[in-house]
Amino acid sequence: MPTPILTIPGWRITALTWREPRLFIWSMSFTWWSFLPRWGGCFSLSPPIFSKPLRRSAKPRKLVLLRALQEKEVLPMSKQDKKFLRFSGFRRFQHWINTISFLTLGFTGLIQKYNQAPISLFFLDQLGGVETVRIIHRVSAVILVLITIVHFGDAFYSWYVKRKPLSMLPGKEDLTNAWGLLLYNLGIRKDKPKQGFYTFEEKFEYWALIWGTVLMTATGFILWNPVLANQILPGAWIPAAKAAHGLEAVLAVSAILIWHMYHVFIKHFNKSMYTGFMSQEEMEHHHPKTLEEPPYRPPAKDDQRYQERKRTFFTVYGIVAVLLLVALVWLVTVETTALATRPPVDDLKDLVAYAPLQATKIPEYSPDAVADLGDTWYDGIGTFINDSCGFCHKAEGGLGELNLTTYEGALAGGLSGPAVKPGASGVSPLIIWPQREDHPVHLDQDQLAALRIWIDNGALPGEMKATPPPQPTATSAPSSEVTAENVTYANTFQELFSSSCGFCHGTSGGLDVSTYESLVAGGDSGPGIVPGDPDASVVYQLQAAGENHFGQFSEEQLTLLKEWILAGAPED
């Protein structure tokens, strides 16, 4: 065990050298008794701070923390001299063009997304304003699309013409390697899984880049051509594209800065993207399975089938590339109707603004067209609203949970919000809803005008007036009593239907109870009254159904209705 360089009760901090080149590893070793209460557990797949977190054979167990410190590890001369081609010059060219365009897009895009942040305002100012930043962003986007077209052509050429294996395609083995690496990092497995020319981490990064490029290209051109996009796609796609474009940018930049930078600079400084080669030591550590496979042998240049494949490739890819370039030019230049950002005003001192000398008055209505409903709620407005709307919108069980029988209830509103919005009659539901054709109550224009004036003047409650106590009156002699034997529509049910049902049933359900003929004829659900048959009469069925019906009859009234129908429902 290495000599501790620092001792704390329960901890031993030591400096270890691992077999990964140019990597200095600081490990903090702690005894088993301190592991559970201090950490409770450690889970890692390919962690940014753990390299060999737990070693089963280590006693006490060790938590190994990585630091990107340079250390010159002496390798055997044979392993230093032997090189393996990792990336061709053309592949490295694609990588660096993609890197430059990606970083430029990320930088110019994020300062536009978070344009109110102080650092964004600083860079926007230094770059000459948002218009300049947009131009840089779009030029970088075009470069990214072009290098993507080139890359797919190169990948297809390598596979179809040169017959190189598609080693970047993910497979079942990658899932096995990911699981094995997780077990290795947890100390459950002794050896790291052997991986091929591309590790599962590299494949994950590659296909994440492909997916991100496709998504960012599609959403970017929607934002670049919003008018055209709105003509082809639903309008909701434009704000959706903006949200997806911005959030994917944050995700992509975060993944590159955290995941990719760690793997190629901190965990191990990988120079293959600079030189194109890896040493045998690096290949044995990172890609040992590649050394066990037979090397790739390129086809002979004079091979007839090789030449035929080249001609086919250049024909097909040439056509596809030209079509893609035409589409790219069209998308870049098709729309010229988008509004440019207005330039800032240089000097506000010379700007003359219109300032009226008098305050704008509330619109007044013609006195001939205004009903005399009072000036405040308690001066008559409340009584009118209660009489007109309180039947449905009452304190308990009101439609839409709206109570219009009190001033407080009208301001509080219901499911649709406040019914009365002081100072804004144009957006007050109390004015809007009675003008709809499907509303059971329709107010006259003079009544609406009076309500508008009251609301626009602040919907004042006024002073509540004391209700005078009832005065005793002489009881008049009873008139002829209405009984089941002499009840008729004229002496009983005309007034009862008018007061209980007429509020709604002039329009609702096609049923009109204002006349005897319309009551008997009924509405959409059938005849209202069938003389001699209460069970076939829709009006009686609705009243007998229970308390959920508005304008519910009392038990005595319901009994009287049934007996009247059984007696033939006489009119007079």
Q: Which long-range contacts (CB under 8 A, 24 or more apart) does 380-388 make?
A: 381/450, 381/451, 381/454, 382/406, 382/407, 384/447, 385/410, 385/430, 385/451, 388/441, 388/443
Q: Which tokens is 144 given?
A: 């990214």
Concatenating the DSSP letter of every residue in 257-294 gives: IIIIHIIIIIS----HHHHSEEEHHHHHHH-HHHHHSP
The rounded distance, in Å, linking the Cα atoms of 150 and 144 is 10
Chain Cα centroid distance, residue 64: 41
What pTM value is reported for the model? Answer: 0.49
Residue 322: in which H helix or E strand, if any? helix 304-333
Tell me which H or E stretch contains 449: helix 445-456
pLDDT digits (tens, 9 = 90+) for 284-315: 888 889 888 888 888 888 889 999 999 999 99
Find, among 93, 84, 29, 85, the residue nearest to 62 by Cα: 29
Provide the pLDDT for residue 213.
94
Residue 26, pLDDT score: 28
What is d(CA 454, CA 419) in angstroms, rounded to the nearest whole number?
Answer: 13
Whole-number Å distance between alpha carbons of 495 and 500: 8
User: Which of 180, 179, 174 minimizes the C-alpha distance to 197?
Assistant: 174
If you write DSSP's letter for every residue of 182-234 in order, what string do you get?
A: HHHHTTSSSSPPP--SS-HHHHHHHHHHHHHHHHHHHHHHHHHSHHHHHHHS-
Calculate the CA 486 to chain-centre distance: 68
* Backbone angle region of 405, left / alpha / beta, with phi > 0 → left and psi within -120 to 50 → alpha: alpha
State the alpha helices, DSSP H only, in 114-199: 118-126, 130-156, 172-185
Q: For residue 522, give the amino acid letter.
A: G
Residues 6+ apart with CB under 8 A from 28: 11, 12, 13, 14, 62, 63, 65
Contact 347, 175 (CB under 8 A): no
pLDDT of residue 467: 56
Pairwise CA distance, residues 92 & 273, whole Å: 6
Strands 24-30 and 62-67: antiparallel
Note the pLDDT of residue 548. Answer: 54
Q: Return the structure tokens found at 308.
A: 């035929």
What is the domain partition of the chain in residue ranges? 6-74, 79-294+313-332, 367-456, 489-566
Query: CA nearest 362: which of 305, 306, 424, 411?
Result: 424
**How confident is the prediction along the chain (572 residues), in pLDDT tens digits per residue?**
444 434 444 433 333 333 333 322 222 332 223 333 333 333 344 444 444 433 333 333 333 333 333 333 344 545 556 888 999 999 999 999 999 999 999 999 999 999 889 999 999 999 998 889 999 999 999 999 999 999 999 999 999 999 998 889 999 999 999 999 999 989 898 888 999 899 999 999 999 999 999 999 999 999 998 888 888 988 889 999 999 999 999 999 999 988 898 888 888 888 999 999 998 888 888 888 988 888 888 888 888 999 999 999 999 999 999 999 999 999 998 886 655 556 665 655 565 556 666 665 555 555 456 777 788 888 888 888 887 887 778 777 677 788 888 888 888 888 878 888 888 888 888 888 888 777 777 788 888 888 888 888 888 887 776 555 555 444 444 444 555 567 777 777 677 776 667 656 665 556 777 777 777 777 777 777 777 777 877 777 777 776 556 666 777 777 877 787 777 778 77
Distance (Å, whole) CA 283 – CA 290:
8
Structure confidence at residue 109 (pLDDT): 94
Of the chain, the end-to-end C-alpha distance in Å amounts to 115
- Is residue 187 within 8 A of residue 56, CB to CB? The reply is yes
Q: Give the CATH number of domain 79-294+313-332.
A: 1.20.950.20
